[in-house]
Structure 1
Amino acid sequence: MDTDHRQKGPGRRTRVSVLLGCATVVLAGCGAMPVTGDVKAVEASQAGDAQVQVYAVPPREGASPVEIVDGFLESMTSDDPDFRTTRTYLTEQAGRSWQPGKGTTVLAKAPNRTGPSLHDKERRPSETTYTLTGDQVATVDAQSSYRPLAPTDYAEILHLVQEKGADGKEEWRIDVVPDGLVLGQSDFKRLYRSVNKYYFAAGRAEGDPALVADPVYVRNRTDPVTRMDTATQTVRALLAGPTNWLRPVAGSRFPAGTALVKGTTSLTPDDENVLKVPLTGHADKARPGECRMMAAQVLFTLRDLTSARVGQVELQGTDGPLCSLRADEAGEFEAGKGSDAPDSQYFVDDKGHVQRILGSTKGLGVPAPVLGPLGEGPVAMSAVGVSRDERQGAALSQNQQNLYVSSLVDGGEEELVPAVTSRAEKAEDRLSAPSWDGNGDLWVADRDPAGPRLLRLAGGEGEPQTVAVPGLGPGRIEALRLSADGVRIALRVSDGGHTTLRIGRIERHGQGAAARVSVEDLRTAAPQLTDVTAVSWSGRSRLVVVGKEEGGVQQVRYVQADGSTPSSGVLPGVNQVTAVAAADDEQLPLMADTESDGIVKLSPGDNWQTVLKEGSSLVYPG
């Protein structure tokens, strides 16, 4: 846990914490603690473990204002039920009105506090003010949606007054306090975990549903306010509907108003691995087909929770079971299902031809040219993108001027005709590497300074459509990758001498080639990375990103779709990475292009290994 605000300035105490199963921790009110011997601080970097539990105690009698402020800040980092003890640091009225569930402010380190000023002491001895300060790096709103920020100055006021207690004595208490929690980054990671709740992508054809991950943060253990365990918090968040960012492009199949039956605080699979979810009467309105989709939402949402191995979900209404869905039946709801076989790998060899390594070999197979002109034709290529069903390929000419699209299943003699052509003079200002979304549409960016465009080819054919990106500003799209669900796009954007990662929401109005498409509400992901070299989607809700922090060295790490970076997300180092490729199936190896070692792979639990010394632009379908 963070200890900064306990270690600077006079009168500050050192926080003590223990692992679960050890002795109870006392935070504030140190009268029961030993007064001799050394007290050692627990560094924040050592305290991110979710098994560390902190217990709050009320303020001691006659506590000074600084003790009240420090005790309140410490108590916010505890698992205090309904924050009852935390509220004892507030006046009676402030304790009733304070709403810790309004959201969370995440600071780089625990908040510092300054004050009171000499002017305050001279003016009114019965009241005083402290200011909480720090570098804000993220916010979590009331929907539990995380949003990373470039470090921003944070400053909030805590005002204290003297209030008569039950015994009639005057005690210092806080009467002005901001709603929500204020936590240092390491305390936040200890208390909360990222989970994905799932909704259905809007605008899909009938009979072709696709689930979209909507990441949120929930408490690692029991939520202090609702007293729900992690699985129940997650289902409760699912029933509340998509977060505001995702809502325009995804929806829930649960009838409006559906909630967990009152008093439900724990959801645990039974001995047969069946999870029964008791729902309010609103769920009774669902038709059988809709109910299966509801069950799929719960099944996918809980599948990532290691504490809830669910083999089957049974939804229960007012009169008993409504429907059930087994884990082995949920495949029909996967986004971007692609082909039935494991995803193959595709790359451009040293002669400019597109080659394929069968997915069943996990990167160890012998490469072979793809069928058609991309594999053996007269035009040399520099980059390739393959549709998720592996039936079509799109490749970029070596000078990056022309984009060609061809069948990968038809070996006939097909004449290559450019589907897109850039007019830019320099190669680096022409077309980006192409990418296919989960709807079968092909995307590419034309980086021409005279007229930069984001282009979409519906079904990979026809006239390219320019896609509006209202939030792009003066930035230029250098590279792009589309998610399997078809509703999100990851962009490498150059602006002001830096290249950063942004994630946008793809909104479609209409169907097929006639649809009006735009990329809305761009958000910066992993803002600490000021120079992003490469990016690829990896699974349903995360990306692999290659980049550098300001003044740092290159690193390869995972980033969540909401832009947050898990503490365990840094991958083993590899030198001079220029491109990276990850599959939707997270069991397939991560691949990377390097300047020194050629194409390398990283299998789960292994180290980087060289696959090919010659070749570039290795990609998975997508």
Structure 2
Amino acid sequence: MRSPIRALAVAIATASALMLSACAGLPTSGPVNPGLPLEADTQPPDISFVADPPQPGATPREIVEGFIRAGSGTRGEWATAREYLTAEARETWDPSANVTIDDFSQREYIEAGDDSIVLNVTAQATVDEAGSYDDLGGDDLELRFGLAQEDGQWRISEAPNGIVLDDARFDVVFRSYALAYFDPTWTYLVPDVRWFTTTNPATSVASALLEGGPSPWLSGAVANAVPEDVTLAARTVPVRDDGTAQVELTPGALDLDRETLDRVQTQLLESLSGAGVSAVQLTVDGQPLPASRVETRSTRVPPQPLVLVEEGFGFLAGESLEPIADLSEAIVDAGPTAVQVSADQDAAALLRGTGAVARVDAVNGWADVDTRPDLIAPTIDTGNWVWSVPRSNPQGLQAFGPDGARVDVAGAWPDATRISAMEVSRDGTRVAAVVSDGGQPAVWVAGIVRDGGVPVRLGEPWMLGSLAGPGTDMAWLDATHVGIVADVAGDTNVVEQLVGGPADVVTAPAAVTTIAPTNQAFVPRLLDTRGVLYVRRGTNWGNASGDLRVIVLGTVQGTPG
């Protein structure tokens, strides 16, 4: 996914160019006045295209072309687009049913008859009525339109529900918002990325949270404090000038205890923060409900890189190494080739030079827990369970508990034939993996269903997107993005994949093997085969280890609570 600053700049430039080309009477001379500076936390403005209405005497093809263009005009619930429809079709067409994101240059209009037009599109992705993004990778779709004469003018009598936007317009008309749920222990907030128009997004976000529920792939993996009988009582969620969203709830909210109200308040406040909301006031029949935000645990990681060097294992601070008490010595002794340390830094998962997966803790030192052949780098979760799987057997996923228990995690990547990388999210509710079914490798995620904290199965896996080459390593960069190192025809790419959206691909230094997060979004660390540590600075990768040779670049699952 494009970084927020780049995405905003592209969106504003695209919208400006498109609106200028569509409008007449704008001044073309005079002084140039400076605009507002672009800050990192600037919210994208509500940019709405002004679509042209149908022109008198337009042909059937021109009517369909105009209707497709008018799909970018969201004001008045697509009022201009509805002018292209017959009176009857206006009552049945549902523009919010889905969005098809296509390649504009590949659109093909075919006149299938005097009253029929077929539009062939190359669909890159779709967004459904719940705001969920689905990567299609360039599928060919056929959209059929029936036309009829109404008052002597051609109008569309039959149209598929939804709208079609090319990717440039989609980036302006829609924006991603993260609905917030809890992990089952009510410790962490878990984002569920959705896409809504920038026209009154507070209403769309609040409605999705209060009336929809989590995405299907997260079913059973997250907790929702909102009861089924509590929904929005008003059609809109107004936001005051001071950033306070006024959320009117149905009377069922009066029966909620304070703890539940606080959790609902927390979910709404976190979900609406992307829509420019800084406070939430819950009401029933206009009367305020007492509620405040609950404390949740952060998933940020320490700023220093976690490394194995000749001097030992620990956090690299300048030229000094800060070991982890009761862990570093045991990790060095185990001879690891990959290391992931728990958030509390009291346990770790290792892939050893022998090929075995080991567990390390502050009490027992290290011990092998999985000696099956061809294991990939393991991952450790919030309960200090170590996850391990053979490269050639993705369904053989197992988890090893702190007390020595071993469980077979059911439902793991059922159609995959190979897995090359895997990592549990820092909130413990999701697992991401790079798998293939004998063909093109792809990035998948699945929710983790637990029983009393024990990971017993994965939910229905969801493909985020395909990779142009084999993926060699992956890491959760933050709560909503995974980073993947991929080998593409001998070149190294880093794929920054939004969980619930598109990916951004950047070129990396040669021979990179490992990726790790920093405490800054979109700034991963990389390690190459020579032991050089890199950090991205703008568009370049800078040497972050100097003359020091890094043997292993580790990751850590958060910061101590």
* TM-score normalised to structure 2 length: 0.84
Distance 1:365 1:518, change over 3 A: farther
Q: Distance in 1 between matches of 2:555 and 2:309?
A: 15
Aligned counterparts, 1:111-190, within 5 A: 112-117=107-112, 120=113, 127-163=114-150, 165=151, 170-190=152-172
> Which amino acid is 1:181 matched to?
I
> Which amino acid is 1:236 matched to?
S
Q: Distance in 1 between matches of 2:59 and 2:392?
A: 64
> Which amino acid is 1:189 matched to?
D
Pick from 262, 277, 293: which aligns with 2:263? Answer: 293
Aligned counterparts, 1:184-223, within 5 A: 184-202=166-184, 204=185, 208-220=186-198, 222=199
CA contact (8 A) 1:374 1:395 kept: no
Q: Does 1:559 align with 2:497?
A: yes
Q: Does 1:356 align with 2:308?
A: no
CA contact (8 A) 1:388 1:440 kept: no
> Which amino acid is 1:82 matched to?
E
Q: Distance in 1 between matches of 2:137 and 2:502?
A: 12
Structure 1 range deviating more: 555-564 or 185-194: 555-564
Pick from 247, 266, 273: which aligns with 1:277? Answer: 247
Match of 1:106 in 2: 101
Could you tell me how far 1:61 is from its partner in structure 2?
A: 1.6
- Three-state SS of the structure 2 residue aligned to 1:315 is strand
CA contact (8 A) 1:17 1:54 kept: no
Match of 2:400 in 1: 457
Distance 1:110 1:196, change over 3 A: farther
Distance 1:184 1:604, change over 3 A: closer
CA contact (8 A) 1:17 1:25 kept: no
Q: Which has the higher contact order (CA 8 A, sep 6+)?
A: 2
CA contact (8 A) 1:536 1:581 kept: yes
Q: Deviations over 1:537-556 (max 9, x none)?
A: 1222111223366x694332
Match of 2:210 in 1: 239
Q: Distance in 2 between matches of 1:131 and 1:481?
A: 44
CA contact (8 A) 1:50 1:191 kept: no
Q: Deviations over 1:461-509 (max 9, x none)?
A: 413222123543242222211012222111111443643221112222x
- Three-state SS of the structure 2 residue aligned to 1:443 is strand
Q: Does 1:541 align with 2:476?
A: no
Q: Distance in 1 between matches of 2:347 and 2:62?
A: 67
Q: Distance in 2 between matches of 1:417 and 1:62?
A: 80
- Three-state SS of the structure 1 residue aligned to 2:545 is strand
Match of 2:371 in 1: 421
Match of 1:574 in 2: 509
Q: Deviations over 1:190-239 (max 9, x none)?
A: 2111110101223x3xxx4322111100112x1xxxxxx12332222221
Match of 1:5 in 2: none
Match of 1:46 in 2: none
Pick from 232, 243, 253: which aligns with 2:225? Answer: 253
Could you tell me how far 1:570 is from its partner in structure 2?
A: 4.7
Q: Deviations over 1:394-415 (max 9, x none)?
A: 2222121x2222224x6xxx56
Could you tell me how far 1:431 is from its partner in structure 2?
A: 1.8
Distance 1:102 1:552, change over 3 A: farther
Aligned counterparts, 1:331-410, within 5 A: 332-334=295-297, 342=302, 345-350=305-310, 355-357=313-315, 361=317, 364=318, 366-372=320-326, 375=329, 378-400=333-355, 402-408=356-362
Q: Distance in 2 between matches of 1:84 and 1:108?
A: 25
Distance 1:57 1:600, change over 3 A: closer
Q: Distance in 2 between matches of 1:417 and 1:184?
A: 54
Q: Distance in 2 between matches of 1:417 and 1:452?
A: 24
Could you tell me how far 1:132 is from its partner in structure 2?
A: 1.0
Q: Distance in 2 between matches of 1:17 and 1:162?
A: 35
Could you tell me how far 1:22 is from its partner in structure 2?
A: 7.7
Q: Deviations over 1:423-475 (max 9, x none)?
A: x3xxxxx22212112333221212366x96211113x3413222123543242
Match of 1:432 in 2: 376
Gaps of 5+ in 1: 1-15, 27-31, 35-48, 121-126, 223-228, 425-429
Q: Deviations over 1:310-362 (max 9, x none)?
A: 1x433222352212435xxx4x223658xxx94654333358x5x1116xx5x
Q: Does 1:325 align with 2:292?
A: yes
Distance 1:601 1:563, change over 3 A: same
> Which amino acid is 1:243 matched to?
S
CA contact (8 A) 2:513 2:528 kept: yes
Distance 1:321 1:606, change over 3 A: farther
Distance 1:255 1:590, change over 3 A: same
- Three-state SS of the structure 2 residue aligned to 1:85 is helix
Q: Distance in 2 between matches of 1:246 and 1:396?
A: 29
Q: Distance in 2 between matches of 1:99 and 1:262?
A: 21
Q: Does 1:610 align with 2:544?
A: yes
- When the two chains are superposed, the root-mean-square deviation of aligned CA atoms in Å is 3.3
> Which amino acid is 2:556 matched to?
P
Q: Distance in 2 between matches of 1:552 and 1:171?
A: 58
Could you tell me how far 1:289 is from its partner in structure 2?
A: 0.8
Which protein has the larger Cα radius of gyration, Structure 1 or Structure 2?
A: 1
Q: Distance in 1 between matches of 2:238 and 2:410?
A: 45
Q: Does 1:315 align with 2:247?
A: no
Distance 1:217 1:64, change over 3 A: same
Could you tell me how far 1:252 is from its partner in structure 2?
A: 2.2
Pick from 460, 466, 471: which aligns with 1:521? Answer: 460
Distance 1:64 1:191, change over 3 A: same
Match of 2:529 in 1: 595
CA contact (8 A) 1:420 1:464 kept: no
Gaps of 5+ in 2: 1-12, 27-43
> Which amino acid is 1:63 matched to?
A
Q: Distance in 2 between matches of 1:151 and 1:211?
A: 33
Q: Deviations over 1:95-153 (max 9, x none)?
A: 11101111112223366233224xx3xxxxxx421111121121211111111122211
Q: Does 1:473 align with 2:415?
A: yes
Distance 1:609 1:282, change over 3 A: farther
Aligned counterparts, 1:436-451, within 5 A: 436-447=380-391
Pick from 486, 507, 531: which aligns with 2:470? Answer: 531
CA contact (8 A) 2:417 2:435 kept: yes
CA contact (8 A) 2:516 2:524 kept: yes
Q: Distance in 2 between matches of 1:300 and 1:334?
A: 13
Q: Deviations over 1:513-536 (max 9, x none)?
A: 5x6x12232222232544323221
Could you tell me how far 1:421 is from its partner in structure 2?
A: 1.1
Q: Distance in 2 between matches of 1:319 and 1:68?
A: 46
- Three-state SS of the structure 1 residue aligned to 2:208 is helix
Q: Distance in 2 between matches of 1:342 and 1:288?
A: 34
Match of 2:70 in 1: 75
* TM-score normalised to structure 1 length: 0.76
